[in-house]
């Protein structure tokens, strides 16, 4: 599949993913800001098709609700419960997995297209990107109904790729604080994390319209999605790649996120 084959899915006039100069500009934005948004990335017809697919398969979603720390690790019993490392935030959402995403909605074509994979690899600065080896983790659609949210956290991966399909009537706002820690150096910045959790540090806010592709470096930037408000569910696609082949999400993680192994 060439980039021209993606014409029904991507607005290639606005987002020419094969143009080296344009791709370099997008990479520069991601390098400078840790995030880049591409509004109108999906064509209107592709967006409509994907929304219909999400609606049709929402009944298959596995819902999770629980608490976690911002580092997505177990509590440290040597620290107080109110220490920044141990403070708990809430997350709740539904999710359908790669094998549940309809094959004719365009998401599989987009995810596996060599031209799209090359674009992602060049922008995030890796030689190549690879799908997950397990059957569940490559393409996920997340559902956040009223009151559901994604609590403050840092990502374990170096980059995340998402497509917003449907925004709620209110809420569902993506907030982040850039470069709050340095995971590679083991600098967790407990004071800075506590200040964000206490509301003493105003976060940056991303305005994201349906059809927008977002590339985000969340390993060192703390972020959340505020609770959905109203009776329109937020639909978000997560396109997950690795920079090495043959990687599967762990069995424990699959059971936690999806309720099954395959």
**How far is Cα 108 from Cα 61, in angstroms, rounded to an integer?**
18
CB of 157 within 8 A of CB of 220? no
Measure the CA angle with vertex 92, ends 99 and 159; round to 5°. 65
Exposure string over 120-137, b if 16+ CB within 10 A, otherwise e:
bbbbbebeebbbbebebb
Q: Please tell me the predicted confidence (pLDDT) of residue 19.
A: 96
With residue 108 as reference, give the H or E element that holds it.
helix 107-112
9 belongs to a structural domain: no
Give the model confidence (pLDDT) of 108-127 as tens digits.
Answer: 999 999 999 999 999 999 99
CATH of the domain at 168: 2.60.120.620
Cα-Cα-Cα-Cα dihedral sign, residues 226, 227, 229, 234: positive
156 belongs to a structural domain: yes
**How far is Cα 169 from Cα 229, in angstroms, rounded to an integer?**
6
CB of 83 within 8 A of CB of 46? no
191 belongs to a structural domain: yes
Residue 76 main-chain phi, psi, to 5 deg: -100, 110
**How far is Cα 209 from Cα 163, in angstroms, rounded to an integer?**
10
Q: Please tell me the predicted confidence (pLDDT) of residue 2.
A: 62
| Total tally of structural domains belonging to the chain | 1
**How far is Cα 101 from Cα 154, in angstroms, rounded to an integer?**
27
Q: Which of these, 76, 94, 106, lies nearest to 147 by C-alpha position?
A: 94
In the predicted model, residues of the chain with pLDDT beneath 70 are 1-2
CB of 119 within 8 A of CB of 226? no
113 belongs to a structural domain: no
252 belongs to a structural domain: yes
Q: Please tell me the predicted confidence (pLDDT) of residue 252.
A: 87
CB of 167 within 8 A of CB of 136? no
**How far is Cα 262 from Cα 258, in angstroms, rounded to an integer?**
9
203 belongs to a structural domain: yes
Residue 233 makes CB contacts below 8 A (sequence gap 6+) with 58, 143, 144, 145, 166, 168
Tokens of residue 190, six digits: 């407990």
Write out the residue range of the structural domain in which residue 89 sits: 34-101+132-258
18 belongs to a structural domain: no
| Paired strand residues for 234 | 144
107 belongs to a structural domain: no
């Amino acid at each position: 599949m060439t980039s021209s084959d993606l014409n029904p899915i991507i607005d290639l006039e606005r987002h020419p993913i094969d143009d080296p100069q344009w791709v370099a500009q997008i990479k520069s934005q991601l390098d400078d800001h840790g995030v880049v948004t591409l509004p109108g990335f999906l064509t209107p017809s592709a967006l409509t098709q994907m929304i219909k697919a999400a609606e049709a398969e929402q009944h298959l979603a596995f819902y999770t609700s629980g608490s976690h720390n911002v580092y997505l690790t177990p509590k440290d019993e040597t620290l107080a419960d109110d220490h920044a490392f141990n403070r708990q935030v809430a997350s709740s959402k539904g999710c359908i997995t790669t094998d549940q995403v309809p094959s004719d909605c365009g998401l599989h074509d987009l995810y596996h297209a060599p031209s799209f994979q090359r674009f992602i690899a060049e922008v995030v600065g890796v030689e190549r990107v690879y799908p997950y080896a397990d059957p569940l983790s490559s393409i996920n659609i997340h559902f956040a109904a009223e009151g559901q949210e994604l609590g403050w956290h840092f990502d374990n991966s170096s980059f995340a790729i998402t497509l917003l399909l449907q925004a709620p009537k209110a809420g569902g706002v993506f907030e982040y604080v850039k470069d709050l820690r340095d995971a590679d150096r083991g600098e967790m910045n407990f004071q800075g994390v506590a200040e964000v959790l206490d509301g003493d540090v105003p976060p940056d806010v991303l305005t994201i319209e349906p059809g927008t592709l977002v590339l985000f470096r969340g390993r060192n930037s703390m972020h959340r999605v505020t609770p959905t408000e109203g009776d329109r569910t937020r639909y978000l696609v997560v396109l997950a790649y690795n920079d090495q082949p043959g990687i599967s999400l762990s069995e424990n993680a699959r059971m936690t996120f999806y309720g099954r192994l395959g």
